[in-house]
């Protein structure tokens, strides 16, 4: 049945001769000749790739049981120690990459801004713009070329892809070493180019890539093999390591170790357990220690232009710990605004991504051309809009210099006379991190005019939308925080006579409201922002604004990452089942034809089925004389069949030789290949004589696959499938005397497109 193919269902359109051969197998068990015609490809980068599922379930076959029985205490101890060692290495690697990213961005962007500022001080405004825009375009082309030609999967945030992987979706190249390389350097070039993007989303993807690389279990391709690493040649352990990597990415981006753990728990991971909580906490703690040590080193002035930007906390401590009724009403108003703006932002991002996909599909040159256009647009806005702002006299008795002479600071001179500053230039002519810090600054009520805040909000809102989707690594956190902080400060300035809260705190709450309305996270965002700003007194107001903004935004659409998953075509399984699934049973959606094997099967039949189908799991049925009546022996995986065929443990007679196979193979032989080369069908060399021989499948069959009766509701089966992290779910017959298995459900059989395609009269609830 095509439900368990995990691939294109049209691949089972076999010609008459082949179909006759398949019928010689176990086709009496065919219940329905129904094809699953839903799309099983997704957009990775700008290419459409076939999507499969990951094997998170442990195949409890004879070889696996023998392997665990023979494992010594020393080997089990090695396995546990290696897990913690890899968690340590993931933390160290992600922390170092996070610091390197910030160091490079601060120095490249700082040099660009210094050169432009020096030209403006000499009244060479056209040369300054040419230099500024030229540097931005060169950096943008470098980032786009890496994404277009080396690793298209590195474009964008990367968080949706990591979410899909941890949900069980195996999309090609999303965690490959080339993607890691491009994600690091592409993010540096893209952020330094002045795009309204962040490095925080790419850091999550980077941490996941580092974890995946370390958890490959060795690689024959790159001659990196070590016998201890064989323990990690399975999707289950890789999933745990990638979860640690995602948490480490958030910790490295925001210096928020606890927020990183909660992000992995709330947003990234689909399965969680207490052991994983400890390991992710350890990983993020390592990241925090690494960053703290390196930042202390940079305070000695040995890191070039690494100033107040990047990894330094936004210190907005407030001595006010009480809130009045007008303050709470103002915060609730901010939450409503954030929910409305956040849902509208998601709507616009959805439309822009669908438009850009048409352009990006035309090839790398069109990707780079689109990046150049957006880069020039961003440069024109950043350089041109401050000219609309009036020069403001420097406030007296300032602790810092005004106007700012260095590349970072709150008071940019731009084109103003001495002792004056341009408040729009202070926001536009800084790195994104510095702009956020300026907006969060407390005790600066009159620093920005309302018109400047309004212009900045509109510009950042629009530029953030049109920038996401181009071929550069681009995070959404920073654009959303910038836009939210600007309208939060605007509301705080307007409500100044009514509220006692500082405008810097309004900016922080505005950023929280926009983040909640866009990303629909609550607990993790609350902790990240509190760790980011070191202001625990804001906890009650932060919780209130996040709850309101998420509730308001949920009325209109889904979170931005959920929308991107849908656009890309990644078959993500939600925690809950759709309401219409309660009215269907499991057997209503299984598709066919069902192809199964006998416990002892002819080699030619196996080879033929592997060639004409793209199934990844096959039921193994025992029949007389091996059993009194047909019974389900287990489930055998495609890759295990390939390894067994390569070993050529064949017999001329149809007999069981399970003990010989157990002695001739090790459990590690059937481990899933990492970045190394696994066994492929075209590599098998089977002679005509061997095609007529038999092979015993009992030792490699998973004798305890998860099964449900055919009368189970589809909603219940979907929840079971998702919570257990399955790839195949066997649907067995409820009535005695019928074939033992009705079909097999996979991820694609639970998709709304498939279910509603079979039953178009069902109206899904929105």
CA-based angle 261:88:530, to the nearest 5? 30
Helix (H) or strand (E) holding 732: strand 729-732
Helix (H) or strand (E) holding 367: helix 364-384
- Pick from 185-199, 400-414, 695-709: least confident: 400-414
- Cβ-proximal residues to 384 (8 Å cutoff; 6+ apart), any chain: none
pLDDT on residue 625: 75
| Nearest by Cα to 2 from 42, 41, 33 | 33
pLDDT on residue 258: 95
User: Is the distance from CB of 291 to CB of 91 less than 8 angstroms?
Assistant: no
Q: What is the mean pLDDT of residues 252-267?
A: 93
| Nearest by Cα to 743 from 113, 36, 129 | 36
Q: What is the mean pLDDT of residues 422-439?
A: 86
Position 272 pLDDT exceeds 60: yes
User: What stretches of 569-636 show up as alpha helix (H) in DSSP?
Assistant: 603-612
Set out the domains of the chain in order of their start, with CATH numbers. Answer: 78-300 (1.10.3080.10), 325-400+419-568 (1.10.3080.10), 574-590+710-765 (3.90.1280), 595-704 (3.10.580)
503: confidence class by pLDDT, cuts 50, 70, 90 = confident
448: confidence class by pLDDT, cuts 50, 70, 90 = confident
- Pick from 311-315, 490-494, 602-606: least confident: 311-315
Q: What are the tokens at 231?
A: 């323990």
Position 1 pLDDT exceeds 70: no
Q: What's the length of the chain?
A: 766
Position 36 pLDDT exceeds 90: no
pLDDT on residue 9: 38
Q: What are the tokens at 530?
A: 């509190």
- Cβ-proximal residues to 440 (8 Å cutoff; 6+ apart), any chain: 314, 316, 485, 504, 507, 508, 533
d(CA 528, CA 434): 18
Mean pLDDT score of the chain: 85
3-state secondary structure of 264: helix
Position 526 pLDDT exceeds 60: yes
pLDDT on residue 10: 37
551 vs 653, which has greater pLDDT? 551
C-alpha atoms less than 13 angstroms from C-alpha of 71 in its C-beta half-sphere: 17
% of residues, the chain, pLDDT over 70: 88
pLDDT on residue 736: 80
23: confidence class by pLDDT, cuts 50, 70, 90 = very low
Position 73 pLDDT exceeds 80: yes
pLDDT on residue 26: 39
47 vs 65, which has greater pLDDT? 65
pLDDT on residue 297: 82
d(CA 473, CA 182): 8
User: Is the distance from CB of 62 to CB of 664 less than 8 angstroms?
Assistant: no
CA-based angle 372:107:408, to the nearest 5? 95
Best mean pLDDT range from 228-242, 417-431, 596-610, 651-665: 596-610
- Pick from 13-17, 118-122, 208-212: least confident: 13-17
User: Is the distance from CB of 378 to CB of 196 less than 8 angstroms?
Assistant: yes
| Nearest by Cα to 593 from 49, 57, 21 | 21
pLDDT on residue 221: 58
104 vs 391, which has greater pLDDT? 104
Helix (H) or strand (E) holding 490: helix 477-494
Q: How confident is the model over 550-605, as pLDDT tens digits?
A: 999 999 999 999 999 999 988 999 988 999 999 999 999 988 778 899 988 999 99
Query: Helices 177-192 & 73-121, crossing angle to 10 degrees?
Result: 20
User: Is the distance from CB of 188 to CB of 101 less than 8 angstroms?
Assistant: yes
d(CA 534, CA 540): 14
d(CA 666, CA 227): 13
pLDDT on residue 665: 81
Dihedral angle, C-alpha 656, 659, 661, 665, nearest 10 °: 170
CB atoms closer than 10 angstroms to residue 274: 7
- Cβ-proximal residues to 512 (8 Å cutoff; 6+ apart), any chain: 338, 484, 525, 526, 529, 542, 545, 546, 549
Residue 493 CA to its chain's centroid (Å): 37
Dihedral angle, C-alpha 733, 734, 739, 745, nearest 10 °: 0
% of residues, the chain, pLDDT over 90: 47
20: confidence class by pLDDT, cuts 50, 70, 90 = very low
Q: How confident is the model over 84-100, as pLDDT tens digits?
A: 999 999 999 999 999 99
């Amino acid at each position: 049945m095509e439900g368990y193919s995990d691939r294109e269902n049209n691949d089972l359109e076999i010609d008459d001769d082949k179909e006759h051969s398949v019928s010689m197998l176990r086709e009496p068990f065919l219940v329905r000749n129904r094809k699953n015609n839903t799309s099983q490809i997704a957009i990775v980068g700008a290419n459409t790739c076939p999507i499969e599922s990951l094997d998170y379930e442990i195949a409890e076959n004879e070889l696996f049981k023998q392997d665990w029985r023979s494992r010594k205490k020393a080997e089990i101890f090695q396995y546990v120690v290696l897990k913690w060692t890899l968690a340590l290495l993931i933390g160290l690697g992600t922390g170092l990459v996070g610091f390197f990213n910030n160091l490079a961005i601060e120095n490249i962007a700082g040099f660009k801004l210094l050169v432009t500022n020096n030209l403006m001080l000499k009244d060479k405004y056209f040369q300054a713009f040419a230099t500024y825009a030229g540097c931005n375009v060169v950096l943008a082309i470098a980032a786009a070329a890496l994404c277009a030609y080396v690793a298209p999967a590195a474009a964008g945030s990367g968080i949706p892809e990591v979410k899909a992987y941890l949900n069980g979706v195996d999309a090609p190249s999303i965690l490959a070493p080339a993607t890691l390389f491009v994600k690091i350097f592409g993010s540096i070039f893209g952020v330094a180019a002045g795009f309204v993007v962040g490095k925080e989303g790419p850091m999550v993807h980077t941490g996941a890539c580092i974890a995946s690389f370390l958890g490959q279990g060795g690689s024959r391709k790159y001659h990196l093999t070590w016998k201890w690493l064989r323990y990690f040649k399975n999707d289950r352990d890789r999933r745990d390591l990638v979860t640690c990597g995602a948490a480490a990415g958030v910790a490295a981006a925001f210096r928020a170790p606890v927020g990183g753990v909660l992000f992995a728990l709330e947003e990234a991971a689909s399965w969680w357990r207490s052991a994983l909580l400890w390991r992710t906490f350890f990983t993020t703690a390592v990241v925090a220690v690494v960053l703290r040590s390196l930042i202390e080193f940079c305070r000695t002035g040995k890191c070039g232009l690494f100033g107040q930007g990047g990894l330094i906390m936004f210190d907005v401590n407030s001595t006010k710990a009480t809130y009045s009724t007008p303050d709470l009403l103002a915060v609730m108003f901010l939450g409503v605004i954030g929910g409305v703006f956040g849902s509208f932002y998601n709507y616009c991002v959805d439309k822009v991504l669908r438009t850009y996909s048409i352009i990006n599909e035309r090839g790398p040159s069109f990707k780079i051309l689109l990046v150049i256009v957006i880069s020039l647009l961003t440069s024109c806005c950043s350089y041109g809009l401050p000219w609309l702002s009036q020069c403001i006299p420097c406030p007296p008795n300032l602790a810092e210099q005004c106007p700012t002479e260095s590349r970072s600071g709150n008071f940019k001179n731009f084109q103003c006379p001495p002792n004056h500053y341009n408040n729009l230039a202070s926001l536009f002519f800084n790195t994104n991190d510095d702009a956020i810090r300026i907006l969060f600054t407390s005790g600066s009520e009159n620093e920005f005019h309302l018109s400047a805040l309004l212009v900045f909000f509109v510009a950042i809102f629009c530029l953030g939308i049109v920038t996401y989707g181009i071929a550069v690594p681009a995070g959404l956190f920073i654009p959303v925080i910038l836009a939210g902080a600007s309208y939060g400060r605007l509301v705080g300035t307007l409500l100044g006579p009514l509220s006692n809260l500082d405008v810097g705190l309004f900016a922080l709450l505005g950023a929280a409201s926009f983040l909640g309305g866009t990303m629909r996270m609550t607990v993790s965002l609350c902790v990240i922002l509190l760790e980011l700003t070191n202001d625990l007194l804001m906890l009650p107001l932060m919780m209130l604004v996040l709850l309101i903004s998420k509730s308001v935004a949920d009325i209109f659409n889904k979170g931005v990452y959920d929308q991107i998953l849908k656009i890309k075509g990644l078959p993500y399984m939600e925690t809950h089942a759709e309401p219409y699934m309660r009215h269907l049973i499991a057997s209503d959606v299984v598709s066919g034809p069902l192809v199964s094997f006998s416990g002892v099967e002819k080699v030619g039949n196996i080879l033929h089925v592997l060639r004409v189908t793209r199934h990844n799991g096959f039921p193994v049925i025992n029949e007389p004389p091996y059993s009194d009546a047909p019974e389900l022996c287990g489930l055998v995986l495609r890759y295990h069949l390939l390894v067994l065929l390569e070993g050529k443990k064949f017999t001329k007679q149809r007999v069981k030789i399970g003990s010989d196979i157990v002695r001739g193979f090790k459990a590690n032989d059937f481990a899933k290949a990492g970045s190394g080369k696994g066994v492929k069908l075209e590599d098998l060399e089977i002679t005509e004589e061997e095609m007529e021989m038999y092979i015993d499948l009992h030792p490699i069959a998973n004798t305890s696959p998860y099964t449900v009766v055919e009368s189970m509701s589809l909603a219940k089966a979907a929840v079971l499938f998702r919570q257990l992290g399955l790839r195949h779910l066997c649907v067995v017959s409820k009535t005695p005397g019928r074939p033992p298995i009705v079909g097999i459900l996979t991820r694609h059989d639970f998709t709304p497109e498939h279910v509603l395609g079979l039953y178009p009269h069902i109206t899904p609830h929105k």
